[in-house]
Structure 1
Amino acid sequence: MPEHTDPVPRYRQIAQHYRDRIMGGVLRPGDELPSERRVADEWDVARPTAARALLTLRLDGLTETRQGSGTYVAEVRPRHPRDEHHRPPRSGEGADEPGEHTRIVDADLVEPPADVADDLQLTAAAGGDAPRVVRRRRVVRVGRRVVETSTSWFPAELADTAPRLLRAERIREGTAAYLEQSTGRRAGYARDRAWARTAGTEERRTLGSPEDVAVLVVRHVVYDTTDQPLEAADTIHPPGAAAVEREYPLHPSQRE
């Protein structure tokens, strides 16, 4: 088991270890990965942590599970996100789309939700204090209708050299350009994931939606060119305001 002293969550350390072996050709398509129990034993972690690491690899398309057999390296591996043409969600800090109006609701220092702290790779400060982040919230309207609301979180130390993050006003050039200019850290690539859930109380109030409405959530995590997280952002779309569309080959011979 490799030694790790960095603050990255253990399941991510484990997943990255096997990801590196797969992408480096040490593990070939069809090779079997260790079982959940063996991963837990070798890395001295709980079974749920080992299971989450293996699930991460499967969700990334690097492995596949064969019923009653085990976990194997997938026959077709995706390219690294930085090697693919990636079109991130539209920035909420640049120019509006025609007919839209964006308002920054607030900008402050807060304790992040646990999953956001995880995505930003933040750990407790000395003394056990919870990490802090800059939180920026915005609302986008077309006429009187709210078409999306979003929250962005940035590591708190970025505000030392990029103080406009803490001002409740638009960053017209976009946050990525502003951060590069202010901190020297350039956005390199991003990872997105989406899921549906029931809107929370504050979200329902902002969206003007009934209590039982479902919303689409898109988590957008931006990494700099050294693979360190710069921003995590959740965009909330009410029913009928957004759609997710993908096109992909179904025949193996069409895949590259």
Structure 2
Amino acid sequence: MRTGFVRRQRRYPDDGGVVALSTSWLPGEFADAAPELVESAPLPKMTFGLVEERVGRRTVRRSDVVSLRPVPAGDAELLGVEVGAPALVMANRYWDADGAVTEYATDFLGPGRHLSAEYDLP
């Protein structure tokens, strides 16, 4: 059984460059049931869907924090920016019904990208 955390990183490009660089940290034992979590290939049900299906822990709560942060050395080349350049980042934390964190993720947006959301109102 794995201990600690596993790290999963994905780079999302389009014709205009890098849209986002997404990095997730998940409890290490999740990778025993879902080894795809340590690969960068797309997941058929997104991360929390795979965790629910294979690990049996359903995500019931999410927190998003948007901020401007300097891009760390390990991510700068993947985003196509200088180390320390400011970038818009969304940090997400997900919890299961028992209040345990199932995933922590950061999404650094690429240069010139913006964050938007669309919601249905009651």
TM range (shorter): 0.7 to 0.9
The one of the two structures with greater contact order (alpha-carbon pairs below 8 A, sep at least 6) is 2
Could you list the per-position Cα deviations for residues 9-48 of structure 1 after superposition, in whole angstroms to 9, with x for gaps in the alignment?
Answer: xxxxxxxxxxxxxxxxxxxxxxxxxxxxxxxxxxxxxxxx
**Higher Cα Rg: structure 1 or 2?**
1
Could you list the per-position Cα deviations for residues 130-188 of structure 1 after superposition, in whole angstroms to 9, with x for gaps in the alignment?
Answer: x6211000000012601110100000011222222123422112122211111111110
Match of 2:60 in 1: 188
Higher mean alpha-carbon deviation, 197-206 vs 172-181, is at 197-206
1:211 Cα deviation after fit:
4.9
Counting matched residue pairs gives 116
- Aligned residues with identical type, % of pairs: 28
Unaligned runs of 5+ residues in structure 2 are 118-122
Match of 2:120 in 1: none
Between Structure 1 and Structure 2, the one with more helix by share is 1
Match of 1:219 in 2: 91
Between Structure 1 and Structure 2, the one with more strand by share is 2
TM-score (norm 1): 0.41
Answer yes or no: is the 8 Å Cα contact 2:62–2:94 preserved in 1: yes
Answer yes or no: is the 8 Å Cα contact 2:17–2:110 preserved in 1: no
Q: Quick one: which of 223, 228, 237 aligns to 2:100? A: 228
| 1:226 aligned partner, one-letter code | D
Q: How does 1:232-247 map to 2 (within 5 A)?
A: 232-243=104-115
| Distance (Å, rounded) in 1 between the aligned partners of 2:4 and 2:18 | 29
| Distance (Å, rounded) in 1 between the aligned partners of 2:115 and 2:102 | 26
Q: Does 1:164 align with 2:36?
A: yes
User: Aligned Cα RMSD in Å?
Assistant: 2.1
Match of 2:17 in 1: 145
Structure 1 runs (4+) deviating above 4 angstroms are none
| Distance (Å, rounded) in 2 between the aligned partners of 1:239 and 1:164 | 29
